[in-house]
Structure 1
Amino acid sequence: MADTSGKTEVRVAIDSDFLKKLENRLGVSRSTDLARTALSLLDWASAESEEGRLILSTDSGGKNVHRLVMPELTNMLNVKIASE
C-alpha cells in the first residue's frame, strides 16, 4: 500500500464533458493530474492576491485586458485586512 501520510484525498462531482474538455485542452489524461494543476494555479493566484496584486490577461499585443475576478480571492484579501 502506498504511503499517504501528510496527504488528503479530495472527491468532487464534476460534469464529465467539462472535465474531458479540460483534460484535452491541457493534454492530461488523469483527473488527478488535472486537479493537481488546478490547485497549483489556485495556490499561485491566492498568493498573488494576498500581496495585493491583480491577475490580468491580455492578447499578444498587450491590449484587450481582462482581469481575473473570483469572489474567493477577493474575500481572502478582505479577511486578511480585517485581521490586521
Structure 2
Amino acid sequence: MIPARAKELEPGKFKLMASGNIFASISSLEAKIDKRAKKLCGEENYTYLDKEIATPHSPAYSNGVDIGASYTVVTRTIQCNP
C-alpha cells in the first residue's frame, strides 16, 4: 500500500491522508497515519486536532465506467507538540 501523505497547513500543523483499496481496513489506514505523524513530529509528540476521522469511500472508474469497486481515504489533522 501507498504511505500516508502529509500537507503542511501551517508550521507544525499537518493534514495527513492515507488511502487503500476495498480490502484495506480503517485500522490499517490509521496505522499509516500514525507512522507518518511519528516521522513528522517524533514518537508520541503530536496531538490529533480532529475528534473524528473522515473515511469517505470513492468509486473506481475504468474508461469512464464505474467498475463497482471503491477505495477508502482516512484523513486526520495533527499538531506537533513543542
Under TM normalisation by the shorter chain, which class is it? under 0.3
More strand by share: 2
More helix by share: 1
User: Which fold has the larger relative contact order, with Cα–Cα distance below 8 Å and residues 6 or more apart in sequence?
Assistant: 2
Larger radius of gyration: 1
